[in-house]
Amino acid sequence: MANRPLSPHLGIWKWGPHMLVSILHRISGDGLALVGLPVLVWWIAAMASGPAAYDSFLSHAMSPYGMVVLIGLTWAFFNHLCSGLRHFVLDMGAGYELDTNKRWSIISMIGALVLTAAFWAAIFAF
């Protein structure tokens, strides 16, 4: 058998916030594509179809399960945005130091939660 190096795997790598934010970036992107796009199309189609269709959409959107979906999509949007900005900075070659990377990973996750809370607080205030 050849003396080849072992590939890194989860038993070798130490988990950190940078790994979590990367996984959440992928999950939020998939959620926006697989859930957000159909909800957006349904909303636009309901607006174009008249008051009865729009009232049906609103009854689903304002129900408890509809609010969970909408708040989840809002979090996915802001999480993907914050993580995307973090990746943009990394693509420029900055932020690769371990402490800096860890700090900005945590900031991007907390920022998504704060932006989601602020967005819905503003909506419920009106």
- pLDDT category at 15 given cuts 50, 70, 90 is confident
> What residue type is assigned to position 46 of the chain?
A
pLDDT in the model for residue 14: 78
Rounded to whole angstroms, the Cα distance separating 19 from 9 reads 13
Q: H or E segment at 117?
A: helix 98-125
Q: Is the pLDDT of residue 2 over 70?
A: no
Task: Kindly report, residue by residue over 28-52, the tens digit of the pLDDT.
Answer: 999 999 999 999 999 999 999 999 9
* Domains assigned to the chain: 17-125 (1.20.1300.10)
Burial of 1 (0-12, 13-18, 19+ CB in 10 A): exposed
- pLDDT category at 3 given cuts 50, 70, 90 is confident
- Contact between residue 106 and residue 20 where contact means Cβ atoms under 8 Å apart: no
**Cα torsion for 17, 25, 30, 27, to the nearest 10°?**
10
